[in-house]
Structure formats: structure tokens, C-alpha cells
Amino acid sequence: MVLVVRDFVNSCHTNHDGEVIYNQIAQSIFDGRQIFVSFRGVSSVTSSFLNSAFIPLLNKVSFSQIKANLKIIDSNKAINDSIVRRFKQEVEAVTM
């Protein structure tokens, strides 16, 4: 399944933007189904967006399961670095 972010939000900057995307992807991740999230037309994401779109997934599934099923496509280096960095911050905080 492919979810194009811009079909649901105009930008990836606010908590609200993130909540909209989370509601679209969460069940797939929880069910162990792969979902491709396309950032076509998006050039940046903020921590607020990531805090609401992706980080809450960790409340219910492991980071390994997220990596296996959440596929980020049509993105750019800045966005990808932000996503990886944000997840690492949460995962490393738990393991400390």
C-alpha cells in the first residue's frame, strides 16, 4: 500500500499534520503490513510532525517492526536524516 503524504496534508510541520498521517498508517504497522509512505512534493519535516506521525508507533510496536513495515519513499536526505535521528533519540533513551 502506498500513502502519498500530500494527499492528506499540505505540509509536514505541525503536530496536527503528523496526527493525520499517523491515523492513516498506524493500523498497517500494528498489523505487520508494509506501508510505503511517499513524501513526493514534501521538502521538509519538523520534530513536531515526526512526534505525532511516527514516534507514537513505538508505544505499541518495536522499532524493528517499524523498520520492517514503514517504508519511506520519494523523500530527500534532510527528511530521511530527521526521521532516523528522531527514532534513534527515542530508542536510545529507552535503552539507557
The Cα–Cα gap between 75 and 23 comes to: 20
**C-alpha 74, offset from chain centre:** 13
Q: How far is the CB of 20 from other proteins (least distance, A)?
A: 12
Instruction: In angstroms, give the least distance from the CB of 78 to other proteins.
Output: 4
Q: How far is the CB of 81 from other proteins (least distance, A)?
A: 8
Q: Which residues bind other proteins (CB under 8 A)?
A: 10-11, 13-15, 18-19, 40, 43-52, 55, 67, 71-86, 89, 93
Q: In what order do the strands lie in the sheet with 2-4?
A: 2-4, 35-38, 70-73
